[in-house]
Amino acid sequence: MSVTDSTKASDRPGSSTLWYDARTEQVMPWTSLFHDEQALAQAHLALADVLREDYDMAPEQLPGLVGEVSAKAEESDGELVPAAASDPATDPEEGEGTGEGELPLGDADLTDPEQAMEAAERWSASPLADLAFSTAGGLAVRMDPAQIPGTGRAEEALIPIEAEETEESLSELGYRARDAAVNGNSVPAERVAETTGDTEGRTLDCAEAKCVALTFDDGPGEYTEELLDTLAEYDAQATFYVLGSLVEEFPEIAERTAAEGHEVGSHTWKHDDLTSLSGDGVREDMERTSEAIEKATGKAPRTMRPPYGSHNSTVSDALGQPIILWDVDTMDWQSRDTDAIIDHAVSEVDTGSVVLFHDIHKSTVDAIPDILKELHSQGYHFVSVENLFADGQLSEGEAYTDARLE
């Protein structure tokens, strides 16, 4: 829920989550995801660790209750003593703790709806009030980017907490909510092998989530495996539009790309302008390229990208695949400037964007870690082209630039 209080000086809405327990048919506050308030405090400490380690925040920079819980834990060697249950809740607009130097830490049983609701009122200033579970099973905490250095242009910052950091803190409802997040968007069993690579049967509903497709042309090449390592660190899927001639030369790289869950699409045999070919010439090129890709990866490409984005009615009629273009061209092939590539990608991306890169350039591969970090902080999920577009949305011979929702 987002609530704007018109009586306050700031019109920035406050946000919190409610959870529906299908077993008891009750609406529960966010605090009920944790078994008690000590567990709730431990979740704040886990968030503080992420902010310190991943965002280089000093202890004194940690905002509000996160900083207070961290400071109290450090003062007491990790022993957080519950305060009186009547401690006043903090005004979230003030961005401070209880105002008395005391944490709102009680001894409530958060599996009890009434006690969980009372705890939610005491902890109303907590950033964990607006949280979700990631498809990897961790927590995703939405925070004001003004409180976090290095989030750049982001309108919001989505801070990830790894699943193992809160494994012992969740209640039974928390575990069931996490399972629903991890498994709730699973595709039917018959489609798992076709759509999700080795992602354990999980896919993402991009009609609901903030998705972007990063695409890489002209490989595989000498920098592709470095790029795959980077993508793996962020559990990011991408789409590689490869040349059949290079797949034939480097089949092991193409095989690894597909094995790690990325989409491998066709970019012709050797980067010819398809509009210079006859219909039969286009079909021959596509068949030769598809055969090389299927031989290396075990799967024929489902989408294709014409070199230079060049296509006409002859090309469209001859193709047996959807044509995927782009709405964000990083111009990496021209600038060869890592900082310029980062700035262009981050500033132009929107939900549903298809972003054009070339993994044959070292400057591009060097840019990807910062691009992933920045877009991740803004809440983006990195998906394949097939995942970006809804089922049945792609038609053979039709051209698509993006899946923006507006």
Active site (catalytic) residues: 217, 358
Scan for tokens 């946000």, then name that residue.
Answer: 15
Residues 372, 374: Cα–Cα separation, whole Å: 6
| Phi, psi angle pair for 137, to nearest 5° | 95, 0
Residues 46, 43: Cα–Cα separation, whole Å: 5
| Phi, psi angle pair for 265, to nearest 5° | -115, 170
User: What HEC string does 334-376 produce?
Assistant: HHCCHHHHHHHHHHHCCCCCEEEEECCCHHHHHHHHHHHHHHH
